[in-house]
Structure 1
């Protein structure tokens, strides 16, 4: 089994293969995680200090949980979520291979790379191509695609929020929280 950090906010330990949810999730994505180019996502920072691979695992895991709960196509949604940011360049340094806005370009590159690496069905394609809505014009066409685009935004916020909170001392963080609560009343 490939070594993974636990998804942000999760209590599950991904090294515990006895845990039913972990083994179910890993069964769906293990072949993708063994692809060298997917492992290379560890070399790119996505949000603050979260690697692109960890971000993709975060999105895939929560998509897995929500798709199970809603009786959607769990396999396609989870695999599409894992591959939604499958591009190997640093867009912040203007390295993208196609001219245009990053929010439009990277889903196209991710889909092309996914197709080179594994079988991609129409649901996975929708999850990958349309996860940037509303920053791009293309809306998801499937329920699974809507789940991925929403979970992607949630995970990005959690990743950035966790990193931002770590930069504050506990005293400053508490003062910020108290002032935020006080401002509501």
Structure 2
């Protein structure tokens, strides 16, 4: 499976319904996430990987793309203890869901994707194959980012476009 193809990328962007241009989504560019990766880059990476997996597995790829993009829409610096009441890994899915719900209409499936993406650390269980797919994509992408594979894939250049 090639990482990026033009036709897949255009189909992926169509699924997002213009969400990439929303100011709330653009704010994620200023929020650090994993080493050398901002929240926007991570979220687009997760959304694209989830989209590709979902298409391969005949799942609702639109919901995987949208839920993947919005899964970390918490909009605060993760290490700012004044921004959230407890531990980031437990808190941020709730914040992301609240912000995503204010930004766009979410399906029940997309809501669970956002809430459950931190399972098994967070309390919400993935209730669909799509939610499991985004959770898996999140873990795969985070591992690639932390291990530096992200840089070798030149993903920043692709996502900056």
Give the TM-score taking structure 1 as reference length: 0.76
Structure with more relative contact order (C-alpha pairs < 8 Å, separation 6 or more): 2
Cα 1:101/1:69, change in 2 over 3 Å: same
Determine if the alignment matches structure 1 residue 113 to structure 2 residue 99: yes
> Contact between 2:33 and 2:78, CA under 8 Å: does it hold in 1?
no
**Per-residue Cα deviation, 1:91-135 (whole angstroms, up to 9, x for no partner):** 2131424x1221121000000000100110011111100000111
- Stretches of structure 2 lacking an aligned partner (at least 5 in a row): 153-161
What does 1:149-160 align with in structure 2 at a 5 Å threshold? 149-160=135-146
Mapped contact 1:81–1:128 kept (Cα < 8 A): yes
Q: Judging changes above 3 Å, is the alpha-carbon distance between structure 1 residues 138 and 25 closer, same or farther for their aligned structure 2 residues?
A: same
Computing the radius of gyration from Cα coordinates, the structure with the larger value is 1
Deviation at 1:29, TM superposition (A): 1.3
Q: What are the superposed Cα offsets for residues 65-84 of structure 1, whole Å, 9 maximum, x if unpaired?
A: 00001111111111001000
What secondary structure is seen at the aligned counterpart in 2 of 1:85? Answer: coil
Distance 1:12 1:66 in 2: 13
Extract unaligned runs of 5+ from structure 1.
Answer: 1-9, 14-18, 167-185
Deviation at 1:30, TM superposition (A): 4.5
- What is the DSSP-based 3-state SS (H/G/I as helix, E as strand, rest coil) of the residue aligned with 2:50? helix
Kindly tell me the number of residue pairs found equivalent between the two proteins: 151
Give SS of 1:92's match: coil
Q: Quick one: distance in 1 between partners of 2:30 and 2:120?
A: 27
Q: Please name the residue that 1:45 is paired with.
A: 32
What is the rounded CA distance, in whole Å, between the counterparts of 1:109 and 1:137 in structure 2? 14
The residue aligned with 1:36 is 23
Partner of 1:75: 62
Q: TM-score, normalised by structure 2?
A: 0.87
Q: Which residue pairs with 1:127 in the alignment?
A: 113
